[in-house]
Amino acid sequence: MARFAQAEINLSAIRHNYLLAKQLANGARTLATVKANAYGHGAVMVASVLADVADAFSVACIEEAIELRESGIKQPIVLLEGFFSQQELALIDQFALWPVVHHDAQIAQLAEYSFKQPLQVWLKMDSGMHRLGFLPHQYKAAYQRLAQLPQVSRIVHTTHFASADDCNSAVTEQQVALFKQTIKGLAGDCSHANSAAIMRGLVKQNDWARPGIMLYGSSPNAQFSSSTQLQTSMRLCAKVIAQRTIQAGEGVGYNHIFKAERTMRVGTVSMGYADGYPRAAGNQSVSYFNKTYCAILGRVSMDMLSIDLSRFSDLTLPDEPVELWGPHVSVDQVAKAAGTISYELFCGLNRRVKRSYINNPLTESVKRDN
Ligand SMILES: *Cc1c(COP(=O)(O)O)cnc(C)c1O
């Protein structure tokens, strides 16, 4: 059998999470954020399983949008970073995409282009994130320049929160106030909420919500009351490819950062940092194998890691996958052990990890294939 390193993706969980996001957003139009290959889950599969419920999708760049269009996605697609050159306007026109507009040169380029059909654009305000967008004092002028262009049919006001995941921070309320005050009297719908803001109930019925991470079953903050309603979307698995017994005082893996205090049984698992399992979680996290939590021992290598199998007394192990994250070991727990966030772990999965899909509500093929 081939090397086993697999991300099993539960499509009905993603669909459940989307519908939950829409409900928490008070039924507002909700675009599913599928940038970065749907946070590693496979953008085409995720979009196709949401195609009959999602109001729209969002991606970071035009290549990601075209991939969705070519797979048959008909919904609006928002380009979260807009367009990077005037050449992209032909593709925006051809594929009917909705670009974010966040700086002056983009407005000038739009004004010079003749589109087949007028365009919906999302005008971005920098209300405090200080990453993209017009500052509040520049915003109204940018809006007026856009609004008078025959190329533009509608404008959605948009901004992004810096600290929506942090309930102790006053920054989100300040950003909302600045955003609302700046767009007062300007025609157009609003979009400000990422997953954290949706889970905090900040979305009004007429807004556009933009959930990302919550679609993939991870909460930006475990304290949010709806966290427990999210369903796990991914189970990252590998297999035990070798095992041995080591004696007290012996080390495991590079630099022997783990040393046995007693006789132990150690399993070598076909998953390493080249697959996307974080090296920083070495010695800090657990795996789940045959109904048993097994500690990760020592450093994570490029292609392998070691786990504690001391609780298995039989010499022959069951041919079960080892869960590195999933329903039993939460991705947030692994991320915390590695000093990062679930977003980075999901996006960091290498293409060497095979994606397999279960519970596709469209085909009803509810099966587990390992
Ligand atoms: C990625 C992204 C989102 C989604 O954020 P989550 O925290 O994953 O919900 C929303 N809006 C913008 C502008 C983004 O870049």
Pick the atom of ligand 1 nearest to 100's CA. Answer: 13
DSSP character at residue 87: T
CA–CA separation, 345 vs 331, rounded Å?
Answer: 8
If we measure between CA atoms, which residue out of 337, 287, 331 comes closest to residue 312?
Answer: 287
Q: What is the pLDDT of residue 369?
A: 42
Cβ-based neighbour number of residue 71 at 10 Å: 13
Residue 307: the pLDDT is: 98
For the chain, the residue count is: 370
Q: How far apart are CA 17 and CA 36, in angstroms?
A: 18
Per the CB < 8 A criterion, the answer to whether 290 and 237 are in contact is no
Distance 62 CA to ligand 1 centre (A): 17
Residue 332 exposed, middle or buried by CB count within 10 Å (0-12, 13-18, 19+)? buried
Per-residue pLDDT at 262: 97
What the block records as the tokens of 113 is: 């282009």
Taken in order 93, 95, 96, 100, the sign of the CA dihedral is: negative
Specify the pLDDT at position 364.
63
Give Cα separations from 202 to 125, 190, 330 (angstroms).
18, 12, 26
Active site residues: 35, 254
Residue 246's φ and ψ, nearest 5 degrees, are -120, 160
- Is the beta carbon of 219 within 6 A of some atom in ligand 1? no
133 lines ligand 1 (CB under 6 A): no
DSSP string covering 18-75, please? HHHHHHHTTT-EEEEE-HHHHHTT-HHHHHHHHTTT-SEEEESSHHHHHHHHHTT--S
Q: Which of 22, 33, 191, 200 for mutating ligand 1's site (highest number of atoms within 8 Å of CB)?
A: 33
CA angle 269, 270, 275 (to 5 degrees): 125
The span from the CA of 248 to the CA of 281, in Å, is: 23
Q: Find the helix or strand (DSSP H, E) in which 112 lies.
A: helix 104-112
Report residues of the chain scoring pLDDT below 50.
368-370
Per-residue DSSP letters for 206-271?
TSEE---GGGGT--S-TTSGGGGG----EEEEE-EEEEEEE-TT-EESGGG-EE-SS-EEEEEES-
Query: Which residue's structure tokens are 């490819």?
Result: 241
| Beta carbon of 210 within 6 Å of any ligand 1 atom | yes
Rounded-to-integer distance, Cα 1 and Cα 9, Å? 21
The pTM for the full model equals 0.95
Q: Could you tell me which of 133, 90, 127 has the C-alpha nearest to residue 109?
A: 90
